[in-house]
Structure 1
Amino acid sequence: MDRRTYTAELAGLRELRTEIGQAEKTVVAAQKELDKLAAQRARKVAGLAGYEGAQAAPIAKASGLTLADVVRIAPLLDPTPAAVRAAKAGDQAAPASAPGPAPAPGSVQAPVPVAEAVPQPVGAVAPALTRPALAPVVERPAPAGVTTEALGGVEDQAVAEQLAPTAVAAAVAVAAAPAVAAPVESVVSVASVAASVRSVGESVPRELPILPEGPVGARFEAVTSGLVSKRPPYSQLARATVFLDAASGELAVRDQVVRVDLGARTPGEILDAVLAAAPGSERVYITAGAPWHDGAERYSTLKDAVAAWLNTPSPRWTTAVGSGRDKLAGHFVHQRQPVGRYAPAAAPDTDMVEIRSIGEWFDADGADAATCRQAFTLLWQALRRHWDDVVLMGSPSQTGRDLWSRTIPTKGKWAGGYPVLSEELRALLHATGGQGRTELILPPRVPETLPALVEYDRTFAYAKHLWKSPVGTPTRVTAQGFAAMTEAEQARALMSCSHWNVRVTVPAGWSHVGLLPAPVSGDRAWVYPSEPGATFTTWAGGAEVHLALSNHLMPWKVEILGGLVFEDGKPLDDWGKRLKAAWADLTNLSRIHADERQRTAAYLASRAVRSVLLFGLGGFAQRPRLVSGTTPVGEALPAGVEILGQDGQVTTWQRQAGFSRDPNAHPEWAAYVWSGARAALLDMKYRDGKEIVAVAGALHAKPGTVVYFGTDGIALTERQPWPYRGEVGDYLLKGHLTGPIPHPTSQEQYLTLRGQGRAELARTGAEQS
């Protein structure tokens, strides 16, 4: 071989390397798509099992799976004859199982799945705790400042959507499976939880990921290399912002209000009109009118209608694509609060202009554009007292995380910033750390006809739970390690910032609401079993597990299968204190200001502070990103996208983009706060110093009186003697609807009754008794 041939072969090898690299990328993309489709098929199979007449054989044929695969995904479809199952159940005699009630004569029992002969993970039974650190309730008058008056103008109930597990969570479960056998439920456990699921119209129980052993498991006790939350060395840039009532055409800009002609209210016409009246505007908040819903009746879904509106062709405007890492910015398609990002068609690389909904920050509830602008002014002024460099960004989530980053300490252990957990551990927390509890409790657990519907709401609830949060790299605790601890050490571990994999059994004689979440497939993602003898495996925060073991009614049986214990820290404490102070200032101003417009603006600003904390906290959870964008018709779409809509010019799409290298990704903080808030819905103490002077929460109401849980609120059938001091976390009487009332059969019906109850309480001026 001569030199010329050698050089030519090298060039050919480089070309081959490039082609191989492209082929590898294609294979990876195809594998991701295959995994996504397989996970989608599994969800559909599990969903079909919710139909009482479902059979495994036709589902297996339709899905292309084997019968064994279908039964593994949906155990309720096990076609094994009842006699054989009974014989197997008798032979295996699972320790947690208990005899169920005899079937009624003539009744037809659903097939009860039987565990395969796979050994269950051995759990360490946690001791019943007596709360030695808590003083008993003192029967004496409430401290100064405690009142039972229902004050207006404070916390509304937050609505937090529960998300079904994503493909990322499924990947964690698959990675864990070879190392540790998944927990196998007893006959009673599956049947009881399935009964709970069917009673609320959900799908079937689902398995949660577990902590694997060996080298793979080490990634669940690690942080991401080179990724740390640091105080930013820069200040944010303010964007020129105006407020537009799209129904009336009123535009609030600086200290004046002008009326503009919006034409057909397309994005291009809105931007033309706004920029003609207020040149240089970079952000437009729509305060009323929701133009993205125009013509929605022509589309099959509201999301399709919004996507079509965002992409309405305009001769002067095009979709902004940003630059650098934000080059796929595009529009954000949301049914009620979309974000449109546009750039001049003649200069698409220039700064973009945004159209956003004021609903991201607060419900304007009829307030005009000028009042909404004044609310933002008051919000900025209130935050300015605590952050010299505050800038209100496009959304409360962005603003909340930016403000938090400016509280990162410059001295002490965490002066260099807070490390971000490994992607595996973040995926585990994403799959196992639910948000707010949303549950409608149906008869016969509550009466068919309600004597009344009384709503209580926790004021600025999440702000109550920011004083302590997990920091650093967690320590893994195995069942054997937990069993080896002394009872005092076990109690200390459960009361620390921790996250536990547990097998739970509802005690015999239990007659109240469920205490711990059980995972199910479907939109709701979690149910709360309360039937005596029900056994299920789940993950829960230390606050909830501790409550299950120490509640004043009777302790539940909790077996520790494993867990993660973090160092107790205060990464959110300073951020929370400053936001609470701003909220208190604005709430007070909304009550005492002499001008009605200023009172309304201050109230709206206080609601915006709540959104900054609520959505800022949710932003720490950093769920897998959902990226949306547009592509001209005829051009190739990015891999793995879901098409949202298409017109003659562009195709609008979205896709899961996995976890980003976000330096502010801390799902451990969000999970810990959410767990504490769920526990407080059941049991909360009012203190005067270290002395407990009152208690509140669902467990302190009579069994059979709790109708609904809604993130940070409870609805019951009767009034409760819970004091209200106007402090964060307190239970406020928000509504009272006089009965008799037919029990609502859906969340929509409950929300309608809730609105009637709030109106009745406002009309009658009733006081909390």
Structure 2
Amino acid sequence: MDAHSYNAALTELRTVRDRIKKARAELAKLEADRDQRISRLAAYDKAKAERIAPAAGMSVANIVALVPALAPDDLAAPRQAPEPVTSPETDFDGTAQQQAAAPAMNGAQSQPVAPPPQISTAPAGATPESAAPTAPRTLPSLPEGEAGDAWFTHTANLASTRPNFTQQARSTVFLDTTSGVLVHRHQTHHLDLGRRTAADVLTAVFHTVPDGVERIYITAGDPWHRDADRYPYLRDAVTAWLNAPTPGWRTDTGRGRDRMAGHFVHARNPVGRYQSDDGKTHVEIRSVGEWFDLGTNDTPATVRDAFVLLWQALRRHWSDAVLMGSPSQTGRDLWTRTIPARGQHADGFPVLSEELRGLLHATAGQGRNELITPPRVPEQLPALVEYDRTFAYAKHTWKSPVGAPRRITAATFASWSEKEQIRALYGCGHWHVRVTVPDTWNHVGLLPAPAPGDRAWHYPAAPGTTFTTWAGGPELHTALTNPLQPWKIEILDGILWDDGKPLDDWAKKLKDTWTNLTTQAQIHGDPGQARAAHLASRAVRAILLYGIGSFAQRPRMVTGTTPRALERDVPPDAEIVGFDDQQITWQRPTGFSRDPNAHPEWAAAIWSGARAALLSQRHRDDDTYAGALHTMPGTVIAFRTDALYLTQPQNWPYHHQPGDYLLRGHLTGPHPPPPTQEELHALRDARRAPHPPRQEARCRP
């Protein structure tokens, strides 16, 4: 670019700036006009927010915020916002991953600690202190007396049981929407995808494979992002792509045992569900990013081979294994086929009351994601070193809660001996506690606390800080027996289960499958098949990760569309997320379903164990420890679900086993600390040390 073109470009940029300014001014005028019209409509004595909202293209909540007098009765009480899902399916939801070894907390009891653990109890009837003005989010607690005791039941006639049917495989194709290459079984085709709309994809695929296709995996191209520059957020672009007109097709309404219907809007891994106008053909358009999580530039043939290898490897353990649409669906289906047919638990695993499930949803966080900035770390980092826990969550599936939950009040806990208290905190429990950081503490925070925001968590570390939170047994055990200094824990209330192994058989089979595939990736002489085996091992990780997350069963969010002419049919509690001349797109929460496989207590226990292992994990065979608390103060830069970012390399053992800390990258310094998670990720991706496939079998959130 020369000086002339540079000056010309500046002139054009100023023109764009002025057009933006005018457009914003015009938008402000239109919004003011809209608000005035809404206020005038509200003067009508029969005006309803649910009628005005779709006409204004706003949610009911926004209408009520503008005109409080329009608040419907069912919106008078504040609602808790649902937690953003981490699984590729809204219908389930999740996170997670990781040979049957002792848990991460094993051996922590033998660590030398100076003073004894400081466990105390709150007086009967005590309640947590009020939230500070800067931390408006207060976690829910168990109601006092009989009202709270009534929560400690199972939902009637709802339990996880072994299925008595065989899943049916779906006809599947693999499509690269950039090159137009389609792989169907052992055949390769080249398609003209036009503008890469959903209609173009469906037309081209069904013209090429007329016998019928039930699932289309997009291996590359991300067609739902083709107009991303027209929208402020990727999610908006995805919504528009999914809901664009598809002549001859309409949004699927579900069928048979697979009751999932409607599109799933996700910024990077959406699911489009369509059915033909005659209702005879049902098809999904999905992303392979759900399975491999890092994206892939591999050919559709390599991705197809990865799915074949995955299916063959799973069949060694499950004779009726079928790969379903997503890892979460596949994981849960495989787990149900490990439920005992005889003996204990042959009748299944009962589902908790909806009240306890809601409490766990609100108080049991997932992976720890924290960026630590100066002055808690140096202004110039001598290095940035990444350690990633291999197949991490598989390390924490050996023990899970079973049986009827018991309420452990502060008074009950206080009546126990010290031995009984320690045994309870090391067991399968979820505890409401008041925590005090020691006055001389100089390391990272140990326990999650509610931060401002709908589902935000932070980890207080300032000496003398007191906060109230909920935490699992592994984290409390770490706080009380850590190698530096025990924290003060005051028990306010708790939920305690018996120890069981409902996930152990399932996880062992998945770990064996993962080991088999990673070994193939190491030794296979064909680079293409080695790559396919590596991808298949990544898919096993996703099955465990999202399978565990799916047990959490978050409240569902349903997305739907309504013709503009029928806008009064938009559900009154729906949020308008988009509209055009033909239809309105909306979404609404539907709460908890009667899901027989909803076990948030299992997901919460695994997440707690994984967070604790980021702090301290014993390696029995090496008689050593790893984790953040075994580093020098001020050297921990960040936590990322199953990864640690440090300023110094560590001599931690790595034996390619689930939970082991793998050195993933080393950036030499000096370097300023990354101010945001995004910049941390950019540094991570740019400077990761290359490793052979056998060492890349790791977890990544």
Task: Give the TM-score, by structure 1 length.
Answer: 0.74
Counterpart among 103, 128, 137 of residue 183 in structure 1: 128
- 1:648 deviates by 2.7
Q: Which residue of 2 is the match for residue 439 of structure 1?
A: 370
Name the CA distance, whole Å, in 1 between partners of 2:242 and 2:63: 32
Q: Which residue of 2 is the match for residue 355 of structure 1?
A: 285
| Closer/same/farther in 2, CA of residues 136 and 328 from structure 1, 3 Å limit | closer
SS at match of 1:314: coil
Matched, 1:290 2:235: no
| Closer/same/farther in 2, CA of residues 29 and 408 from structure 1, 3 Å limit | farther
| Closer/same/farther in 2, CA of residues 752 and 495 from structure 1, 3 Å limit | same
Matched, 1:372 2:303: yes
SS at match of 1:361: helix
Q: Which residue of 2 is the match for residue 394 of structure 1?
A: 325
Q: Which amino acid aligns with 1:728?
A: P
- 1:328 deviates by 7.5
Q: Which amino acid aligns with 1:361?
A: W
Matches within 5 A, 1:324-335: 329-335=261-267
SS at match of 2:245: coil
Counterpart among 569, 585, 592 of residue 652 in structure 1: 585
- 1:265 deviates by 1.0
Name the CA distance, whole Å, in 2 between partners of 1:710 and 1:537: 23
Q: Which residue of 2 is the match for residue 666 of structure 1?
A: 599
Name the CA distance, whole Å, in 1 between partners of 2:59 and 2:494: 31
Name the CA distance, whole Å, in 2 between partners of 1:37 and 1:318: 25
Counterpart among 556, 559, 562 of residue 628 in structure 1: 559
Give the stretch that moved more between structures: 318-327 or 391-400: 318-327
Q: Is the 2:338–2:506 contact (alpha carbons within 8 Å) kept by the matching residues of 1?
A: yes
Q: Which residue of 2 is the match for residue 693 of structure 1?
A: 623
Q: Which residue of 2 is the match for residue 337 of structure 1?
A: 269
Name the CA distance, whole Å, in 2 between partners of 1:324 and 1:373: 27
Counterpart among 541, 560, 564 of residue 491 in structure 2: 560
Q: Which amino acid aligns with 1:401?
A: R
Counterpart among 734, 737, 740 of residue 670 in structure 2: 740
- 1:301 deviates by 2.3
| Closer/same/farther in 2, CA of residues 360 and 132 from structure 1, 3 Å limit | closer
Task: Give the TM-score, by structure 2 length.
Answer: 0.80
Quick one: higher RCO (CA 8 Å, sep 6+), 1 or 2? Answer: 2
Cα deviations by residue, 1:262-292 (Å, 9 ceiling, x for unpaired): 1111111111111222221110000000111
- 1:37 deviates by 9.2
Q: Which amino acid aligns with 2:342?
A: K
Name the CA distance, whole Å, in 2 between partners of 1:364 and 1:469: 32
Q: Is the 1:736–1:761 contact (alpha carbons within 8 Å) kept by the matching residues of 2?
A: no
Q: Which amino acid aligns with 2:161?
A: K
Q: Which residue of 2 is the match for residue 731 of structure 1?
A: 661
- 1:180 deviates by 6.1
Counterpart among 543, 556, 562 of residue 474 in structure 2: 543
Name the CA distance, whole Å, in 1 between partners of 2:256 and 2:691: 53
Q: Is the 1:329–1:628 contact (alpha carbons within 8 Å) kept by the matching residues of 2?
A: no
Name the CA distance, whole Å, in 1 between partners of 2:62 and 2:434: 27
SS at match of 2:318: coil
Q: Which amino acid aligns with 1:359?
A: G
Matched, 1:489 2:420: yes
Name the CA distance, whole Å, in 2 between partners of 1:556 and 1:613: 33
Q: Which residue of 2 is the match for residue 702 of structure 1?
A: 632
Name the CA distance, whole Å, in 2 between partners of 1:598 and 1:323: 36
Name the CA distance, whole Å, in 2 between partners of 1:40 and 1:555: 47
| Closer/same/farther in 2, CA of residues 248 and 190 from structure 1, 3 Å limit | same
Q: Identity of paired residues, percent? A: 59
Q: Which residue of 2 is the match for residue 529 of structure 1?
A: 460
- 1:134 deviates by 4.4
Q: Which residue of 2 is the match for residue 677 of structure 1?
A: 610
Q: Which residue of 2 is the match for residue 281 of structure 1?
A: 213
SS at match of 1:627: strand
Name the CA distance, whole Å, in 2 between partners of 1:589 and 1:468: 30
Gaps of 5+ in 2: 1-46, 72-79, 81-104, 113-123, 696-701
Gaps of 5+ in 1: 1-25, 45-58, 65-72, 74-129, 138-178, 195-203
Name the CA distance, whole Å, in 2 between partners of 1:425 and 1:640: 24
* Structure ID, larger Rg: 1
Q: Is the 1:330–1:340 contact (alpha carbons within 8 Å) kept by the matching residues of 2?
A: yes
Question: How many residue pairs get matched?
Answer: 595
| Closer/same/farther in 2, CA of residues 41 and 557 from structure 1, 3 Å limit | farther
Give the stretch that moved more between structures: 294-303 or 244-253: 294-303
Q: Is the 2:174–2:218 contact (alpha carbons within 8 Å) kept by the matching residues of 1?
A: yes
Q: Which amino acid aligns with 1:312?
A: A
Matches within 5 A, 1:145-156: none
Q: Is the 1:466–1:673 contact (alpha carbons within 8 Å) kept by the matching residues of 2?
A: yes
| Closer/same/farther in 2, CA of residues 670 and 695 from structure 1, 3 Å limit | same
SS at match of 2:253: coil
Matches within 5 A, 1:380-529: 380-522=311-453, 525-529=456-460
| Closer/same/farther in 2, CA of residues 503 and 761 from structure 1, 3 Å limit | same
Q: Which amino acid aligns with 1:377?
A: V
Q: Is the 2:49–2:70 contact (alpha carbons within 8 Å) kept by the matching residues of 1?
A: no
Name the CA distance, whole Å, in 2 between partners of 1:460 and 1:558: 31
Q: Is the 1:361–1:607 contact (alpha carbons within 8 Å) kept by the matching residues of 2?
A: yes
Cα deviations by residue, 1:14-56 (Å, 9 ceiling, x for unpaired): xxxxxxxxxxxx99999xx9xx9999999x9xxxxxxxxxxxx
| Closer/same/farther in 2, CA of residues 63 and 713 from structure 1, 3 Å limit | farther
Counterpart among 141, 146, 152 of residue 221 in structure 1: 152
Cα deviations by residue, 1:283-306 (Å, 9 ceiling, x for unpaired): 000000011111122223222211
Name the CA distance, whole Å, in 2 between partners of 1:610 and 1:131: 23
- 1:510 deviates by 0.4
SS at match of 2:244: coil
- 1:312 deviates by 1.9
Counterpart among 675, 687, 692 of residue 757 in structure 1: 687
Name the CA distance, whole Å, in 1 between partners of 2:602 and 2:337: 17
- 1:218 deviates by 2.2
| Closer/same/farther in 2, CA of residues 654 and 39 from structure 1, 3 Å limit | closer
SS at match of 1:331: coil
Matches within 5 A, 1:186-201: 190=132
| Closer/same/farther in 2, CA of residues 557 and 653 from structure 1, 3 Å limit | same
Q: Which amino acid aligns with 1:600?
A: R
SS at match of 1:628: strand
SS at match of 1:286: strand
Name the CA distance, whole Å, in 1 between partners of 2:426 and 2:515: 29
Q: Which amino acid aligns with 2:532?
A: A
Q: Which residue of 1 is the match for residue 199 of structure 2?
A: 268
Name the CA distance, whole Å, in 1 between partners of 2:260 and 2:665: 45
Cα deviations by residue, 1:496-523 (Å, 9 ceiling, x for unpaired): 0000000000001100000000101226
Matches within 5 A, 1:283-322: 283-322=215-254
| Closer/same/farther in 2, CA of residues 327 and 394 from structure 1, 3 Å limit | closer
| Closer/same/farther in 2, CA of residues 420 and 28 from structure 1, 3 Å limit | farther
Q: Which amino acid aligns with 2:392?
A: A
Q: Is the 2:49–2:63 contact (alpha carbons within 8 Å) kept by the matching residues of 1?
A: no
Q: Is the 1:744–1:750 contact (alpha carbons within 8 Å) kept by the matching residues of 2?
A: yes
Cα deviations by residue, 1:556-611 (Å, 9 ceiling, x for unpaired): 00000010110100000000000000000011111110011011101110000000
Q: Which amino acid aligns with 2:233?
A: T
- 1:630 deviates by 1.8
Matches within 5 A, 1:582-661: 582-635=513-566, 636-661=569-594
- 1:694 deviates by 1.5
Q: Which residue of 2 is the match for residue 110 of structure 1?
A: none
Q: Is the 1:328–1:627 contact (alpha carbons within 8 Å) kept by the matching residues of 2?
A: no
- 1:325 deviates by 8.7
Cα deviations by residue, 1:470-518 (Å, 9 ceiling, x for unpaired): 0121111111111111010001000100000000000011000000001
SS at match of 2:339: coil
Name the CA distance, whole Å, in 2 between partners of 1:132 and 1:353: 51
